[in-house]
């Protein structure tokens, strides 16, 4: 159906990492949704924040393939994500202070 067994093995070797990454992101999304829907304890937002951080790290490390880059690229990728975090925090502070 998809060619010879060697071609299927080669395809799986190339697709294994993206499939596992997508699966891990879906599991973490499920955890976040389940925690948000049930609110099992008072400070559940701390766990949700940790899961969100793990999702960002997974995207940065695997989807963007930063781990295969030189150290300077890793540094600037980390600085970029840190800056985006600062911008989101400033937006959240502005939103909450106007309420």
pLDDT at res. 1: 61
Q: For residues 62 and 17, is the Cβ–Cβ distance under 8 A?
A: yes
pLDDT at res. 34: 95
What's the chain's average pLDDT?
Answer: 90
At a CB cut-off of 8 Å and minimum separation 6, what does 75 contact? none
Rounded to two decimals, what is the model's pTM? 0.76
Rg (CA), the chain: 19
Q: How confident is the model at residue 8 (pLDDT cuts 50, 70, 90)?
A: confident
Q: For residues 21 and 63, is the Cβ–Cβ distance under 8 A?
A: yes
Q: Where are the alpha helices (DSSP H) in 1-99?
A: 5-38, 44-58, 71-98
Separation of alpha carbons 58 and 13, rounded Å: 19
């Amino acid at each position: 159906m998809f060619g010879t067994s060697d071609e299927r093995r080669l395809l799986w070797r190339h697709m294994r990492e993206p499939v596992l990454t997508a699966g891990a992101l879906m599991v973490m999304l499920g955890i976040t949704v389940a925690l948000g829907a049930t609110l099992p304890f008072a400070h559940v937002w701390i766990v949700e924040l940790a899961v969100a951080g793990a999702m960002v790290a997974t995207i940065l490390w695997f989807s963007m393939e930063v781990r295969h880059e030189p150290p300077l690229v890793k540094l600037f990728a980390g600085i970029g994500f840190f800056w985006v975090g600062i911008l989101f925090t400033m937006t959240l502070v502005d939103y909450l202070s106007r309420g």
